[in-house]
Structure 1
Amino acid sequence: MDASDWDRRYAATELLWSAEPNRFVDAELANLPPGPAVDLAAGEGRNAIWLASRGWQVSAVDFSAVAIAKGRTLAEAAGVEVEWVIADLLDHVPEPDRFDLVLVAYLQLPSEQLGTVLDRAARALAPGGVLLVVGHDVENLRHGVGGPQDPAVLYSPEGITARLPGPSVDRAERVRRPVVDADRAAIDILVRAHRSAG
């Protein structure tokens, strides 16, 4: 799907996703000391706004102008400041060595394109910075619920870690996410890595 497709999806409903942060973002990042952060594929900004409310200086990047406009409105209502950037992540290059946190949540791209984004994400980490990647796992097709149905844009923990030769991987696993009104959970990947402080 391109930016215009996503614009239509975001325009069709008040909120495409929850206003609350993703459960894994909350669990993994709640105890980190705030600093500069970038949320790549931020959508309507739920994770970026949550981070900003916890003292992070957040840049939120997405190629959907409709999503970014919604994010601005939500941030204003929450009384937080977020830098909103409309950009395609296949073109956007976050500033290298700058961010204490780089978040990539549910950016479902074919392997080569994802590799480009993850390489730039890893380069954007400041010394000691944390990279968190959350996405739909390929096992979700057979054993989970929801999410994309194209295996070419689904991930595995091993596939993500193979794309991260620089940062040290702290956690790489499949995680289950409850889905309202579903008889089983969705299966996601969660990869957390960090750049050495030295």
Structure 2
Amino acid sequence: MSTSLAWDERFAGGDFQFGEAPNRYLQALRPWFSPGMRALSLGDGEGRNGVWLAEQGLRVTSLDWSGVGMAKAAALAARRGVAMVTIVADAASWDYREGAFDLVAWIYLHLPPADRAAAARGVVRGLAPGGLLALECFTPAQQGRRSGGPKMVELLWSRAIVEDLFGTLEVLELLEGTVSLDEGPRHQGPAEVVRALLRKA
């Protein structure tokens, strides 16, 4: 089964696997955002982060490789009364238009190393000058915890990976450590993550 089909199955139920509320780190970055900013919510799943950004007045593109997830994202946006573009695509191979976004939210998108690097190059290209990248992903210390994340270590992130992939961006914040997750049934409890806020010159 392809990975996108596996996620289609996971999202097929009525419940939201990671809840309908936005990621807490993304929510904490609210002072950095302003209405009218062009935002890309990458690996947006069922749309919780993209819809919240749209509610803040941003012009949002929500992208995920699960068509089932994007259908739920579109329905959530409609239910909340906000406009949001949904795109079913692979983050690693999507055509990122140069300078198209003022904000990219990369929240719990875990890809194999080559795909991760390809998506990172696309994100850097897609960010406009002064554009922000907000990232939160699991680190190898998450292994063995029951609060979510991939089982394969090569999919996990670290501060060093962030620095390697996004070395051309200015570091505004880069932290690694333990947080408490309360994001639907799949992200519950203490978790080991890396968080980053980076800016394109």
- The residue type equivalent to 2:85 in the other structure is E
Deviation at 1:188? 1.0
Task: Answer whether contact 1:161 1:191 (CA < 8 A) is retained.
Answer: no
Superposed, 1:39-118 pairs within 5 Å as 39-118=41-120
Give the whole-Å Cα distance in 1 for the aligned partners of 2:193 and 2:181.
12
The residue number in structure 2 matching 1:164 is 166
Once the 2 structures are TM-superposed, how far is the Cα of residue 49 of structure 1 from its aligned partner?
0.4
Q: Alpha carbon RMSD of aligned pairs, Å?
A: 2.0
The separation in 1 between residues aligned to 2:151 and 2:65, in whole angstroms, is 22
TM-score normalised by length of structure 1: 0.91
Quote the Cα distance in structure 2 between the aligned partners of 1:183 and 1:161: 28
Q: Which of the residues 127, 130, 134 maps onto 2:129?
A: 127
Q: Is the 8 A contact 2:180 2:188 kept in 1?
A: no
State the distance in 1 between where 2:101 and 2:116 align. 19
Residue 27 (structure 1) shift: 0.6
Matched with 2:20 is 19
Amino acid at match of 1:110: P
Deviation of 1:61 (Å): 0.5
CA deviation after TM superposition for structure 1 residue 30, in Å: 4.1
Q: What is residue 193 of structure 1 aligned with on the other side?
A: 198
The alpha carbon displacement at 1:40 in A equals 1.0
Matched-pair identity in %? 28
**What residue ranges of structure 2 are gaps of 5+ in the alignment?**
none
Matched residue of 2:143: which SS? helix
8 Å contact kept, 1:167–1:195:
yes
Contact 2:148 2:188 in 1 (8 A): no
Q: CA deviation at 1:6?
A: 0.4
Gaps of 5+ in 1: none
Q: Please tell me whether the aligned partners of residues 97 and 126 of structure 1 are also in contact (alpha carbons under 8 angstroms).
A: yes
1:36 corresponds to 2:41? no
Verify the 8 A CA contact 1:145 1:187 in the aligned structure 2.
no
User: How big is the shift at 1:157?
Assistant: 1.2
Alignment-mate amino acid for residue 90 of structure 2 = D
Q: Which has the higher contact order (CA 8 A, sep 6+)?
A: 2
Aligned residues: 196
Question: Over residues 50-95 of structure 1, what are the superposed CA-to-partner deviations in whole Å (9 max), with x where a residue is unaligned?
Answer: 0000000000001100000001110001000000001111221221
Q: State whether residues 158 and 172 of structure 1, in contact with CA within 8 Å, keep that contact through their aligned partners in structure 2.
A: no
CA shift for structure 1 position 167: 1.3
TM-score normalised per structure 2 = 0.90
- Corresponding residue for residue 2 of structure 1: 3
Q: For residue 170 of structure 1, report the CA deviation from its aligned partner.
A: 1.5
The answer to whether the 8 A contact 1:21-1:46 is kept is yes
Distance 1:93 1:141, change over 3 A: same
